[in-house]
């Protein structure tokens, strides 16, 4: 008579085996867009995962060359990705998720880890479309993942153990800042870090145009605006100081900065930015309900 092993112990053993044999971990991407590319770059960067163990599928070959340049396999078959992978990233447009998963559901096993990068597709929807007990997660990255400077939030489904979240967080850490949190944070993260990238670009454009107005050449103004935002971001991220404290350190009584800040306050910048994050978050929630 065989010895009964509790399912949670089976999962833990499986994950420990994966972590011990990371170079042999089989990873697949269904979808070959920018997010898949950025995540693949980050995962492969430390060298622990072997590029030949990664496979990407897409209906078109338009984006295949950049994956092939990394040594990643490509295919037009989503089913092949499932059969050749333990960890699978769903990186297709949200409206395609039901179609993709309906064709793949019968091939998903308890040993698969399925990570969706599709905005607005809830964990409940993913779990409904996959076999019961499937290990499902949501990942919300942003565009700077392509340069390994992303902001990524992971949310776990009901069948996900802590070891899975730890594994994914470690694998994705080269992509940028990675945190694990409840699904209720995903939409706010979309408004803050996903849409927020575009908000920063608008601010950078405005900074540069202000300098152009005051006589600086446009190309130089854009370079200085980009460097200013980059430097300020590094100080904020790495300096362990609140933004208000950093702002105060730049201001001197009667100096240029406080005059500029007064102009921003009169223009309602703070309220406008808060409103932009709120509007983007609400839209993400609407997409999740549709």
Q: Binding site for NADPH: which residues?
A: 78
Listed in sequence order, the residues at least 6 apart from 100 whose beta carbon sits closer than 8 Å to its beta carbon are 30, 78, 90, 92
Long-range CB pairs of 219-227, under 8 A, 24+ apart, other chains included: none
What whole-number distance in Å separates Cα of residue 98 and Cα of residue 104?
10
The closest of 48, 90, 92, 50 to 70, measured between CA atoms, is 50
- Per the document, the length of the chain is 290
- Known binding site for NADP(+): residues? 30-35, 91-94
In the 3-class helix/strand/coil scheme, how is 234-272 assigned residue by residue?
HHHHHCCCCHHHHHHHHCCCCCHHHHHHHHHHHCCHHHH
Give the span between the Cα atoms of 173 and 42, in whole angstroms. 8
| CA pair distance 106, 130, nearest whole angstrom | 8
Token match 């703070």: residue?
270
Annotated binding site: 30-35, 78, 91-94
Torsion from C-alpha of 274, 275, 277, 282, nearest 10 degrees:
140
The DSSP output letter for 138 is E
Question: In angstroms, what CA-CA distances link 71 with 38, 59, 89, 287?
Answer: 15, 19, 18, 36
Distance in angstroms (rounded) separating the CA atoms of residues 238 and 233:
8
């Amino acid at each position: 008579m065989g010895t009964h092993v509790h399912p949670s112990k089976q999962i833990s053993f499986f994950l420990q085996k994966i972590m011990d044999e990371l170079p042999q971990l089989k990873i697949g991407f269904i979808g070959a867009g920018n997010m898949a590319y950025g995540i693949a770059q980050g995962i492969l960067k430390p060298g622990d995962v072997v590029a030949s163990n990664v496979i990407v599928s897409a209906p078109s070959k338009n984006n295949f060359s950049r994956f092939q340049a990394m040594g990643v396999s490509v295919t037009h078959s989503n089913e092949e990705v499932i059969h050749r992978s333990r960890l699978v990233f769903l990186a297709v447009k949200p409206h395609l998720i039901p179609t993709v998963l309906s064709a793949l559901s019968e091939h998903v096993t308890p040993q698969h880890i399925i990570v969706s990068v599709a905005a607005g597709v809830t964990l409940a929807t993913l779990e409904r479309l996959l076999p019961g007990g499937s290990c499902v997660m949501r990942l919300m990255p942003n565009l700077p993942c392509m340069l390994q400077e992303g902001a990524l939030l992971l949310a776990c489904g009901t069948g996900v153990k802590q070891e899975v979240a730890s594994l994914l967080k470690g694998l994705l850490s080269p992509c940028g800042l990675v945190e694990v949190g409840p699904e209720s944070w995903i939409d706010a993260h979309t408004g803050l870090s996903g849409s927020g990238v575009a908000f920063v670009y608008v601010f950078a454009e405005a900074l540069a145009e202000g300098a152009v107005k005051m006589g600086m050449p446009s190309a130089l103004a854009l370079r200085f605006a980009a460097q200013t935002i980059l430097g300020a971001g590094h100080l904020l991220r790495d300096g362990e100081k609140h933004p208000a404290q950093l702002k105060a350190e730049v201001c001197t009584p009667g100096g240029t900065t406080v005059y500029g800040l007064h102009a921003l306050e009169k223009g309602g910048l703070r309220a406008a930015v808060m409103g932009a994050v709120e509007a983007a978050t609400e839209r993400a929630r609407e997409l999740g309900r549709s």
